Amino acid sequence: MKVILNEDVKNLGHMCEVVNVSDGYARNYLIPKKLASEANTKNLKEMEHHKASITRKAEKIKAALKESSEKLSSVILTIKAKAGEEDKLFGAVTGKDIAEALKAEGFDIDKKKILLEEPIKRLGEYTIDIKVHSEISAHIKVIVVPETSL
């Protein structure tokens, strides 16, 4: 029996895919749990319409993310940290610190999207990659300066 998947189903396929499964699997599991619907002409047309609207929404979101990544790329963050001899930091500047500094600048970025190979442990200027979307990334400049005590 051919069915249209309404959601991603592990080991079977992705949403909006037409797959061929056994009649019992479709009738007893997929259709009652609303994971799939029967692949008739009405449902196929509905799926095509749904797929087109999802594609349009994804394009709009992608364009907005591209615009925000361009704004993000123009940001220069200055992070103050305690440093000792030879410009070594006491501790390190991590993705969490960069995310907090970005939040202060008005950008709400999850720390998991900040791509640091390893924490920053010295004073200086660094270029950090941020994964905004699976296909879009931004590069920000982070300057780590010594904390001055008054």
**Do 86 and 29 have their domain in common?**
no
Which DSSP string do the residues of 42-54 spell out, in sequence order? HHHHHHHHHHHHH
Write out the residue range of the structural domain in which residue 131 sits. Answer: 69-146
- Measure the CA–CA gap between 4 and 38, rounded to whole angstroms: 6
Domain-ending residue, one of 34, 63, 92: 63
Is residue 92 exposed (0-12), middle (13-18) or buried (19+ Cβ within 10 Å)? middle
**Do 77 and 55 have their domain in common?**
no
**Do 141 and 126 have their domain in common?**
yes
How many domains does the chain divide into?
Answer: 2
Residue 98: its pLDDT value, please? 92
pLDDT tens string 36-64 = 999 999 999 988 898 889 889 989 999 98
Global model pTM greater than 0.85: no
Residue 150: its pLDDT value, please? 43
**Do 141 and 84 have their domain in common?**
yes
Do 82 and 90 meet the contact criterion of CB atoms below 8 Å apart?
yes
